[in-house]
Structure formats: C-alpha cells, structure tokens
Amino acid sequence: MTLTWKAPKDPDDVKDYKLDWSARLGDMEEITSSEWLVPLGVTKGSDSHTQHVVTIWLRDGTAGEKYRITNRVQTSQGRTYDQSVVLHCYES
C-alpha cells in the first residue's frame, strides 16, 4: 500500500519527512539499515533512522507534481521491507 505524506512540500522548502515502522516490525525487531529511492526532480539530503522510525530530508520538486518516494529497511530479524509514500509538491 502506498501512503501519502499529509504535509505538501513547496519546491523551495528543505524539509524532513518521517516513516514509523513500529506497526510492521515484530516483537524485539529493530531497523538496522535504511535506504531511500528518490525519483528525479526531488533531491535527497541527509537521512537517519532509530529503532523504529526513519527520517529523510528533501528539497526541490516541481509545483503540481507528485513524487513516489520509497524507503527500504533491513531489520534485526533479517527481513527487508519496502514502503512507498507519495509526496505532493505545491507552490505556497
């Protein structure tokens, strides 16, 4: 299932976006690595993760466009999960 970030992004914003994986992870399971797949048009800045939450900083984009951003995590139980999120870009 693809999610949508509720807060749209202005093309001039440099902003952080988060995904909480805790509902999909098993008991005692933690994120050990995180990778972001970002389409052309949006620029990935830094990213980080805690045991259950991943964060990415994004900049750029074109007003009126939607971008599908995918996060892939590896877990302490050897699992790999993907989650896609739609980012709407609007001029504010």
Q: What is the pLDDT of residues 32-63, one digit of tens each?
A: 999 999 999 999 999 999 999 999 999 999 99
Give the rounded distance of the alpha carbon of 81 from its chain centre: 13
In this predicted structure, the answer to whether residue 1 has a pLDDT above a threshold of 90 is no
Distance CA 60, CA 9 (A): 9
For strand 53-60 and strand 42-49, is the pairing parallel, antiparallel, or unpaired? antiparallel
pTM for the predicted model, two decimal places: 0.89
Confidence of residue 4 (pLDDT cuts 50, 70, 90): confident
Closest by alpha carbon to 42, among 14, 23, 19, 20?
Answer: 14
